[in-house]
Structure 1
């Protein structure tokens, strides 16, 4: 009974950006009906690391959803989805702009059947503008949105993070936009379109880079593991081979770090006493901190810094997260069995709700597992039999 209980979402599309948004909406209690092509389904079913012929990502990205197979490329399948949309609150899609109009599933058509429908588009470059019709994966959007220029070492080519950052950011904005549109509909009674461009989702995170360049004459560049002028705030080694991030760049926090290091005089040393001074001497200050951290085991170091109120965190891996007591206490590791009976860990629900918590009631379903149940509302047994015989569902 999550906060979106009673909200019905039709998820059209595949891969990451749209389906991850659908996962989050389902986590919050929405009924998410995923429309997939008959026989093949979403390519995410086979994406990345697989076990028993199924992606290990699929049980999570399709969790809490219903799988319904419909051929969207044919008129009879399109008519079925129009009928389903008449009973839905949201249609979520991530096809190339223009595809829904070609199929008669555009906002104008759907809103004539259901004035309250919210249609959420996720695409590389948005529904309008000169680049709207271009293909656009998340990796390309990360480049166009500007984040790749700032990511990595200054001596190397622009780097990417080890996850699908652009797609995930777009999914988050899609969820925000969906909920904002539903809130507005409660006042007006009318739905609307929500247009999420992946490159804009990336660009929205780019802080003051435009003003820095235009008014300040500074083009922010790749700076590795640090932000120029912000110190000490870096990755530091430990005696047992672990790495930790220490963020002690504020004056008061740096004073606490100096106390923990047994060198309180550093906080009043004119070379390090101010934010500007520390930033100007980043390399030598990082060397001082590294000399201290490298002589201590990570657990001892983290405990000592926590006692002094210095922000610190181990650089975690999947292996260490699985045994982290804080992740466990926050229910951020959820163990569920997939359709093959394999017990898998997956990320918990974010954020936490005090009265209507989200939950994981089901892992990613088998292809078409819910076709009969969902389509029974718009097609009787005889019609459904003909549609199945003709490969429409």
Structure 2
């Protein structure tokens, strides 16, 4: 069985969308038991796209797999008390809570900590001042969309990947582990808050991109598919496919020139321009000229021929693939890699990612779909000792849902 470093730890979760759920998914992949406390009719992402043909949310089901789902009426006083009791329930390895709530004062840190002083409480926020923010709005504020897109595109270009949500989710994992170490060393709990906007701004700043704007050149212009400061571009093949070619190091550049047979042409160009393309900055400066020289080589070959010629050449490259192509290839494989398929009663065949950290070259896998509310009675019985009569009463009163 794969290593489960967080086995025995119980994490309670009350959140929605990407950052919080992705962090708790990662914790479950490391072996923690994750109990997701949801509103009785589901949170705001319970029906979020993409959907199956039957209307089930692939989004919710994928991000929240490998968790125990508990459905409680969080608007009722009795339901709020149940949620508090679960989060602060006894146990040396319990008392861990991840949330991104706004407007639920019964889950405020001071309220919960009064019931369990050693609580590890991780709160994901939009901004550090408590204001709202989602990946789409935060990304707009970082400056990235004004660097993204075709060179002749006058306005901002958004990307579809919720990058800051995902990075924030991994920061929340770090916060949980930090809290566990702190509690093990001191016996004390910890309240940790993480703002999505802070995550984004810090990441861009740490790449040096804001410092770059303070230099004489000022703001960075759009680069299209070129790699800033180096040589890298996309090329179209004879059969209409595309590949991404990069030559960041001197060795990669030399391999690209050699495999395309352009040594003499490149030498003549260097002489004409009085430059040296073994230097990365020069390859970037003359990127458009170099792109035009390599373009015919790719245009004369199919994607399969390009792959055959580049195989083992030392050129750093990758083919562009659609999401469907990636999915079909994963299903056709032996599934020993990071992508795995699992079967769900609500979603059918799911393609999911194993924990990408490999221990002794082995992926830490999970293969448990989650059904909304399915663990409600079991969790309340196990954690709070409620008997079947009390569980039946709560269900009939509409305080709990699920099974």
TM-score (structure 1 length as normaliser): 0.89
Distance 1:335 1:308 in 2: 33
- Cα deviation for residue 30 of structure 1 reads 1.2
- Cα deviation for residue 65 of structure 1 reads 0.6
Distance 1:182 1:148 in 2: 37
Moved more, 1-10 or 255-264: 1-10
1:245-289 superposed Cα distances (whole Å, 9 cap, x missing partner): 111132221111111111234565354342232222111101111
Match of residue 288 from structure 2:
283
**Correspondences of 1:68-217 after superposition (within 5 Å):** 68-87=70-89, 88-96=94-102, 99-100=103-104, 102-103=105-106, 105-126=107-128, 129=129, 132=130, 134-154=131-151, 155-206=153-204, 207-217=207-217
Unaligned runs of at least 5 residues, structure 1: none
**Correspondences of 1:317-328 after superposition (within 5 Å):** 317-324=322-329
- Cα deviation for residue 86 of structure 1 reads 2.0
Equivalent position to 1:33, from 25, 32, 35: 35
SS in 1 for 2:156: coil
1:75-113 superposed Cα distances (whole Å, 9 cap, x missing partner): 2222212211223342111123xx34x21x222332333
SS in 2 for 1:391: coil
Match of residue 262 from structure 2:
263
Q: 1:317/1:183 Cα in 2 relative to 1: closer, same or farther (>3 Å)?
A: farther
- Cα deviation for residue 18 of structure 1 reads 1.4
Match of residue 49 from structure 1:
50
Q: 1:383/1:351 Cα in 2 relative to 1: closer, same or farther (>3 Å)?
A: same
Distance 2:39 2:326 in 1: 36
Equivalent position to 1:6, from 8, 15, 28: 8
SS in 2 for 1:11: strand
Moved more, 158-167 or 235-244: 158-167
- Cα deviation for residue 227 of structure 1 reads 3.2
Q: How many pairs does the alignment contain?
A: 381
SS in 1 for 2:83: helix
Unaligned runs of at least 5 residues, structure 2: none
Match of residue 21 from structure 2:
19
SS in 1 for 2:80: helix
1:335 maps onto 2:331 in alignment = no
Is the 1:122–1:195 Cα contact (8 Å) retained in structure 2?
A: yes
Distance 1:122 1:30 in 2: 19
- Cα deviation for residue 356 of structure 1 reads 8.1
Equivalent position to 2:358, from 349, 352, 356: 352
- Cα deviation for residue 337 of structure 1 reads 1.3
